[in-house]
A and B are shown apart, each in its own frame.
Chain A
Amino acid sequence: MSLTRLTALELSNKIKAGEATVLEAVEAALDAIEKREKDVHSFVTVDREGALKRAGEVQKLIDDKTLTGALAGVPVAVKDNLCTSGIKTTCSSRILSNFVPTYTAQAVENLEAAGAVILGKTNMDEFAMGSTTETSAFGVTRNPWNTAHVPGGSSGGSCAAVAAEECFYALGSDTGGSIRQPSAFCGVTGIKPTYGTVSRYGLIAYGSSLDQIGPVAKDVADCAAILEVISSYDKKDSTSVKREDTDFTSALVDDVKGMRIGIPRDYFGEGLDREVKEAVLAAAGKLEEKGAVVEEFDLSLVEYAIPAYYVIASAEASSNLARFDGVKYGYRAEAFEGLHDMYKKTRSQGFGPEVKRRIMLGSFVLSSGYYDAYYLKALRTKALIKQAFDRAFEKYDVILGPAAPTTAPRLGESLDDPIKMYLGDIYTISVNLAGLPGISLPCGVDGGGLPIGMQIIGDCFQEKKIIRAAYAFERTREYRRCPITEESKGGRG
């Protein structure tokens, strides 16, 4: 059996037991990358040499028992908006196409300290703006389950890489659903933690009040273990929260007796695909069989989350992306007349259409005369959405619903109508606005063979509840391996 089939935890156990080496694991992943990248294109950069070199170093630390943790020796893929010292970090944008950070994001440093080996950087929507990974300046990523379809986005490369078994786990970031929606589309598991749980230091900012880094993996246990490692209070991120309860793996318990699960009726209305609806309700049924108390309720305000999000995220993006001006790093236009012309030409040539669209919208809603009508209105709406969740969590331990209204759309179908694409994030976006944790995990496959994902949402700091519910559900079904990984099984000879 190829090592790439193992989960991160299984692999690390094998390595620590001397049944496999870190080098073998890295080579197995690099082989898979070599085989499948032409079809999937999950990576912007593969750091083959760096990974092979690091494998030896990590192996030594495992052999001398310096590294004993759950993820020691496991190769990881990192979304290309997380800075990695000495490895190009592009945000899938032309404007950062040559940027090599001088420091590493805190979440990635935590992983390295735990013995991770970085394989490379994964493709994404440019600056994480998009839901399909089609806005990348370096070409689209394809869904490994069916390469005529998108992997979702913006962490499409991370999720596709995990599904295609090109890595053992990955890091993504989630501003409006960018971990949970592509996880659903690619049949893998991803967590967006409570805002402030994982340091954003070294994450290239999009919507700072919404951005969170999180794990993408084959199963819930891996995700819990990864989250345990990447969570840390960090004084370099002023929104970092001091938490004492980050022992997330303690929640891997197959017991939901008495757990109160709310099913928001508003998540099952118009626009939801029939097969997705049936699969998610069937999943709720499984949890009920295991003793959970499942009840429908009205969450309210669901249709206001997307407009509020686009005002807030675009406003923050217009400010965050002002730093890309062709002076300190990244692309600079070749011909220009004077400083301002250099700024304008650099940015106009360096950013793609979706990024420009959001920077312009953001500049507009923050401009004098419109600030109150749009920006403050959106922040007031955010407050109301938060209150709606607060009321729900007085009654329920977790909220369960679909991760996305459909399975993965075909390539090329989404970008022409931005608002339609934005509507695909209807179940994930409000979670970011309210700062809540959410997990997306597979719960079925549609008639076309594409994965269906469900989402479990918890109250702030209640990751353990969503991990427990997700773990209990996961026990009821087999992991469905992406068919692309079955190719050339056993080799040709």
Chain B
Amino acid sequence: MANIISDETIEYVGILAKLELSEEERQRAKKDMGDMLDYIDKLNELDTTGVEPISHVFPVNNVFREDVVENGDDSDNMLKNAPSVKEKSYMAPKTIG
């Protein structure tokens, strides 16, 4: 029943979550995730055969609207929050060599 989280799994989760873990964090994460999954496995006691999964308690439908711009151009203010800006654009590290 106990969930043993392998190094490979933590590595994989790190890639999905875009997190870089120190060795200490990695060991802690293995233990914490194993403990949590053991605890979550309690749900297996429940027979949910034929029960529809619900993500929202009320029916949620797509909300459509006319494609009309309602907000003004606030790009100067928005760019003030960016760590790096060039020519009214966000600056990110090079992705193509």
Q: What's the dominant secondary structure at chain A's contact region? A: helix
Chain B residue numbers with a CB within 8 Å of A347 are 17-20
CA distance A307 to B56 in the complex (A): 18
A2 within 8 A of B: no
8 Å CB contact of B48 from A328, A341, A363, A381: A381
CA distance A141 to B63 in the complex (A): 40
Q: Name which of A377, A386, A435 has the most chain B CB atoms within 10 A of its CB.
A: A377
B57 within 8 A of A: yes
The closest CB in chain A to the CB of B18 belongs to A343
Question: For residues 21 through 80 of chain B, which have their beta carbon under 8 Å from a beta carbon of chain A?
Answer: 21, 25, 28-29, 32-33, 35-37, 39-46, 48, 51-58, 60, 62-63, 65, 74, 77-78, 80
Chain B residue numbers with a CB within 8 Å of A322 are 18
Contact between A356 and B19, CB atoms less than 8 A apart: yes
Residue-wise, chain A 177-198 has the 8 Å CB interface mask toward B (1 for contact) of 0000000000000000001100
Question: For residues 272 through 314 of chain A, which have their beta carbon under 8 Å from a beta carbon of chain B?
Answer: 301, 303-304, 306-308, 310-311
Instruction: Write the nearest CB–CB distance from B70 to chain A, whole angstroms.
Output: 10
* Residues of B in contact, count (CB < 8 Å): 53
A382 within 8 A of B: yes
A3 within 8 A of B: no
Contact between B93 and A386, CB atoms less than 8 A apart: no
Contact between A363 and B13, CB atoms less than 8 A apart: yes
Contact between A196 and B58, CB atoms less than 8 A apart: yes
Residue-wise, chain A 318-357 has the 8 Å CB interface mask toward B (1 for contact) of 1000100111111110001011111111011001010011
Question: For residues 157 through 172 of chain A, which have their beta carbon under 8 Å from a beta carbon of chain B?
Answer: none
Contact between A360 and B18, CB atoms less than 8 A apart: no
Chain A residue numbers with a CB within 8 Å of B48 are 377, 380-381, 384
Contact between A419 and B78, CB atoms less than 8 A apart: no
Q: How many A residues are at the interface, by size bracket?
A: 35 or more
Chain A residue numbers with a CB within 8 Å of B45 are 304
8 Å CB contact of B19 from A329, A344, A376: A344
Contact between B52 and A304, CB atoms less than 8 A apart: no
CB within 8 Å for A326 and B83 given contacts A339-B94, A360-B13: yes
A204 within 8 A of B: no
CA distance A362 to B36 in the complex (A): 11
CA distance A204 to B21 in the complex (A): 25
Chain A residue numbers with a CB within 8 Å of B74 are 102-103
Q: Name which of B65, B92, B95 has the most chain A CB atoms within 10 A of its CB.
A: B92
CA distance A103 to B82 in the complex (A): 16
Contact between A363 and B43, CB atoms less than 8 A apart: no
CA distance A328 to B75 in the complex (A): 11
B2 within 8 A of A: no
Instruction: Write the nearest CB–CB distance from B68 to chain A, whole angstroms.
Output: 12
Contact between B40 and A331, CB atoms less than 8 A apart: no
8 Å CB contact of A318 from B9, B17, B83, B95: B17
A66 within 8 A of B: no
Chain B residue numbers with a CB within 8 Å of A376 are 53
A364 within 8 A of B: yes
CA distance A340 to B17 in the complex (A): 12
Instruction: Write the nearest CB–CB distance from B51 to chain A, whole angstroms.
Output: 4
21 inter-chain pairs at a CB distance below 8 angstroms, sorted by A residue, are A209-B55, A307-B39, A307-B42, A310-B40, A327-B83, A329-B81, A344-B20, A347-B18, A347-B19, A347-B20, A357-B29, A357-B32, A360-B10, A363-B13, A379-B54, A380-B52, A383-B52, A384-B46, A384-B48, A418-B35, A435-B56
Interface residues of B (CB under 8 A from A): 9-10, 12-14, 16-21, 25, 28-29, 32-33, 35-37, 39-46, 48, 51-58, 60, 62-63, 65, 74, 77-78, 80-84, 90, 92-95
Query: Told that A195-B58, A310-B39, A327-B92 touch, could you supply 10 new A-B pairs with CB distance under 8 A?
Result: A99-B81, A235-B65, A311-B40, A311-B43, A328-B78, A339-B95, A357-B33, A360-B17, A365-B40, A386-B57
